[in-house]
Structure 1
Amino acid sequence: MKRRISLLFIAIVAILFFLLNRYVLSGLQIYTPNPLLSLTFWLVVSLIVLSLIFAINRINTLGMGNFFKIATHAFLIWLTASLIFTIVLALGDGYRLFTGGPRSLYWVEFATALFFATVLLFVYGMIRGKYAYRVIKHTLFFDDLPEAFDGFTITQISDVHSGSFNNPKAVQRGIDMVKQQQSDLFVFTGDLVNNKAEEIKPWISYFNQIKAPFGQFSILGNHDYGDYVKWPNDSAKRANLDLLKTYHKELGFKLLLDEHITLHKDGQNIILAGVENWGIGFGERGDLKKALNGTNPTDFKVLLSHDPTHWEAEVVKSPSKVHLT
């Protein structure tokens, strides 16, 4: 029964995707009725779809490597650009129903311009956007924050995905931005790599430049466990995770695995806890109860957790109040 539903869903999606592209092509044909346009169009669509199917089918053997990323991004770009083209063209066709006459070249040109603009924006985002770092500052107020920690600063970064880096100067610029904050505490909240521990090795000398008076702490994200790679055996997968934990040490990060530490300042303290990844649909490994074991209900607590769904599903329901996640 489940297989029938899956096949039906795939068939419906395939039909809708075909109709979407058929409508896009009908708009493009206003430029020229040459059959070569149709042939080229369907060849491009077929290449994108077949690449996506191959990438998904071989994900267990090839993992989420460069081919997978290129195939999925190409499909996403084409789908988004085609939808935008369709919306604009549909508006033009709707207008034509009231005014009569043939399809207007204006609407097709407008739709085409937005199509290529969408493609260019996506490509820019993939190539340059990953290095478009920003510093976002928030000032938080708590009635029960220990007085000694008034004005205490924390710098957080997340989702480094170091396997996607290929520009040392851009990475160094990001590191310099972190260092310029001169925060009391630095935390990294998961996804150091895309799939394998070795991805971070070329960048260790960059990230271990980060220092903070109260220390540098980290947790794991869903990508850090190697779940998206076909390993020869469980031992190889465990070895990869162990190696990644070693690299956290080389980075100067104290990795918190369902545990907590106490930060002391002027005779007062706060709790910094960290859990393994807990995310709906992405592995519910983290143990919040274990991480907070030994703390008092009245302690001021900061929790490091990779997936926002953890906060909604568990953290807000915790009998031991967590002040900041």
Structure 2
Amino acid sequence: MRRKTSVLPYIIFIIFLVIINWYVTNGFQILFPNFFFQETFTSVNLIISFSLIAAIFRLQSHGMDGFFKLATHFFVVIFVAEIVASLILLVGDIVILALAFFGNHDPETFLPLRINTFSIIALIAFIIVILVFIDGIVRGKYAYRVIKKTLFFDDLPPAFEGFSITQISDVHSGSFNNNKAVQKGIDLINAQKSDLLVFTGDLVNNKAEEIVPWIPLFQQIKASYGKFSILGNHDYGDYIKWPNDLEKRKNLQNLKDYHQQIGFKLLLDENVTIEKGGQKIDLLGVENWGIGFGERGDLNKALSGTNQNDFKILLSHDPSHFDAQVKTHASKINLTLSGHTHGMQFGIEAFGIKWSPVKYRYKHWAGLKEELGRFLYINRGFGFLGFSGRIGIWPEITVIELRTFNHKAQ
């Protein structure tokens, strides 16, 4: 029997939405007392917002496309802008009440303070937030960044001194809509001229067919020691309804075939040997293993045939796997490469600040981490999902160079 969806969260959200909308438009209206701003802004915003909530309530298990996706983005942009503006107005009202209370004055005495200062600041912030989101939607989602890291190891085989690995993750090809922009990313990958290319999962959003138009682009990627990949949580088709299990399994098999067409060697709880100069390192890949996102992967199976002290690199889509199993495993895994978080596609990494809302779900959500003598690197993602943009957390191409401590000492 299908479980009924509770309407209470929607009712609470609608009430909150109405309050925020009224508060912000009221704060702006006093700047335009003779203009129909309040009525127009409130009506348009609430109509779209309520339509969106109704659509979400009725279409929870369906993908977002067409007008529904456009309305979602419009709603998110306006809603976030309203939240920022309301916080500024709230600070202003608290200041006014405090001045009135401690000065024993009527709050109306300080009304010009709100009009001339806080309402203007709130309006400017409202406009800036909208412009930032527009930039993230138009430019940010394809603003590829190359991030280079040099990692030193005391047990790296000498033949692999200076060996380079390019990592991409979370392509989410079902979200792409700009062939020229994606080609720019592919060209940037090839420009790194790395020895090895690894892809750490989520080639599609839901269906294997999403990657088909983009296969010729990803086939262009070159790496002299090969291209290897794993599956991410979205690759299994778990987030949409299928007519039957056979169709779902067929979709997954098609996706595996597309990995092969691209030229990726898909690692499914297995390992391969990368040889250079008569020495080797082990490259392992597990199926998706993530707390709350399916624990399919079998690390012990992926380690089969390797020795405890071999130099090993693991591809594991979800970084929670590192904390749960990898960092304390008896067989040392020197480097784990993950993705999954996207940095939530929103945050700030500048001026020594590193923050994104995703930190409240993942303590370490992007970049390099070392623990118990083992490294984890989390790629911020090549593509985007849900929100068709990126703000402050840009799409990433990672280049990791392996070095020995002996070379560092020199």
The equivalences for 1:77-156 within 5 A come to 77-97=77-97, 98=99, 100-102=109-111, 103-156=114-167
Separation in structure 2 between the aligned mates of residue 187 and residue 254 of structure 1, nearest angstrom: 9
How far did residue 76 of structure 1 move? 2.8
Count, aligned residues: 322
Separation in structure 2 between the aligned mates of residue 237 and residue 66 of structure 1, nearest angstrom: 24
Task: Give the aligned partner of residue 309 of structure 1.
Answer: 320
Please report the RMSD computed on the Cα atoms of aligned residues, expressed in angstroms: 2.3
The equivalences for 1:82-231 within 5 A come to 82-97=82-97, 98=99, 100-102=109-111, 103-231=114-242
Question: Once the two structures are superposed, what CA deviation does each residue of 1:167-201 show, in whole Å capped at 9, x if it has no partner?
Answer: 21111111110001000100011111112111111
Higher helix share: 1
TM-score, scaled to structure 2: 0.73
Alignment check: 8 A CA contact 1:55 1:68 kept: no
Task: Give the aligned partner of residue 63 of structure 2.
Answer: 63
Question: Once the two structures are superposed, what CA deviation does each residue of 1:37-72 show, in whole Å capped at 9, x if it has no partner?
Answer: 235414412422431441353132x32445554344
Query: SS state of the match for residue 199, structure 2?
Result: strand
With 181-190 and 97-106 compared, the bigger mean Cα shift is at 97-106
Alignment check: 8 A CA contact 1:55 1:67 kept: no
How far did residue 6 of structure 1 move? 6.0
The AA in structure 2 aligned to 1:151 is G
The answer for unaligned runs of 5 or more in structure 1 is none
Separation in structure 1 between the aligned mates of residue 174 and residue 291 of structure 2, nearest angstrom: 24
Question: Once the two structures are superposed, what CA deviation does each residue of 1:199-229 show, in whole Å capped at 9, x if it has no partner?
Answer: 1111111111111111000111111111222
Alignment check: 8 A CA contact 1:59 1:68 kept: no
- Structure having greater relative contact order (Cα 8 Å, sep ≥ 6): 2
TM-score, scaled to structure 1: 0.91
Alignment check: 8 A CA contact 2:48 2:71 kept: no
The answer for unaligned runs of 5 or more in structure 2 is 101-108, 337-410
How far did residue 22 of structure 1 move? 2.3
Query: SS state of the match for residue 172, structure 1?
Result: helix
The structure-2 alpha-carbon separation of the partners of 1:321 and 1:193, relative to structure 1 and needing over 3 Å to count, comes to same
Separation in structure 2 between the aligned mates of residue 108 and residue 36 of structure 1, nearest angstrom: 14
Query: SS state of the match for residue 135, structure 1?
Result: strand
Question: Once the two structures are superposed, what CA deviation does each residue of 1:90-109 show, in whole Å capped at 9, x if it has no partner?
Answer: 22223323274213233212
- State the identity as a percent: 55
The AA in structure 2 aligned to 1:18 is V
1:74 aligns with 2:74: yes
Separation in structure 1 between the aligned mates of residue 330 and residue 264 of structure 2, nearest angstrom: 29
